[in-house]
Structure 1
């Protein structure tokens, strides 16, 4: 009989940071496809969320959060705009939810996408303004097409 290797051990607790859920901005980005990492339906997602916006929304929930400088494995761009991962503690050591309204990863993500548009940084931004990285990418694509 072969022994199975498992990462879960009884001494690991839900309060250990590595047991907290991870949320990358790509999970909530309406500009991403499911293959690119979006986890919610496109109609409820927000356009190009940042890890700072996710952190600001979660700070009001009373949940313990952590910010890590990690890049999502499916993210093609290595720019700082796309970096960042948020960790959220949603369960006690005994496995019960810390807050019943945020019992699952999906409930936490839905709360985030509902509240990012309400942030002052989003309300002050004109609708036609694009993030700088998108504008730069568009100008680079013009390139040397006519000069061959």
Structure 2
């Protein structure tokens, strides 16, 4: 859809301190930088869209996790759920982040570039509360029992 107004479900905007808007004014989100989850996904190659090294990247981040990390870093952000990554249109969602205010001052002095933002967010995503709760039950079930092995002959059958 080109032009027109955004739906309420398509875009969620939050200020860095967790409030709905910045001093009652509507920000110009189009000027904010775009952060796709693929940029910090350690499972992707550089050709598939990863922008930071695998040692610094995290495994399969979501838009919600990236948004929570931005709010932790006190950066205003907007989650755009309906937007797709151009190289892989099945990857839905992106996050727009405000690094510099209109007067040119940084929102967070520790983060001055896109790359620094990606590295900081990738460090925070594995420690996300939703992620740590998901991994605990999976680790306990796989460690307690061994998977039954399939017995029988494999390969081609002789005629």
- Normalized against structure 1, the TM-score is what? 0.69
Which whole-Å CA distance do the structure 2 matches of 1:98 and 1:120 have between them? 24
Partner of 2:96: 87
State the structure with more CA Rg. 2
Which whole-Å CA distance do the structure 2 matches of 1:105 and 1:126 have between them? 29
- The equivalences for 1:48-127 within 5 A come to 48-68=60-80, 69-75=82-88, 78=90, 82-126=91-135
Ranges in structure 1 where 5+ consecutive residues have no aligned partner: 1-14, 130-145
Ranges in structure 2 where 5+ consecutive residues have no aligned partner: 1-26, 139-155
Partner of 1:18: 30
Shift of 1:31: 0.7
Change in CA separation of 1:112 and 1:33 when aligned onto 2, cut-off 3 Å: same
* Aligned-CA RMSD value: 2.0
Report the structure, 1 or 2, having the larger strand content: 2
- The equivalences for 1:30-49 within 5 A come to 30-49=42-61
Q: Which runs of 4+ in 1 moved over 4 A?
A: none
Deviations 1:73-93 (A, max 9, x none): 1115x2xxx311100011122
Deviations 1:37-84 (A, max 9, x none): 0000011111111111101111122211001121101115x2xxx311
Alignment of 1:28 onto 2:40: yes
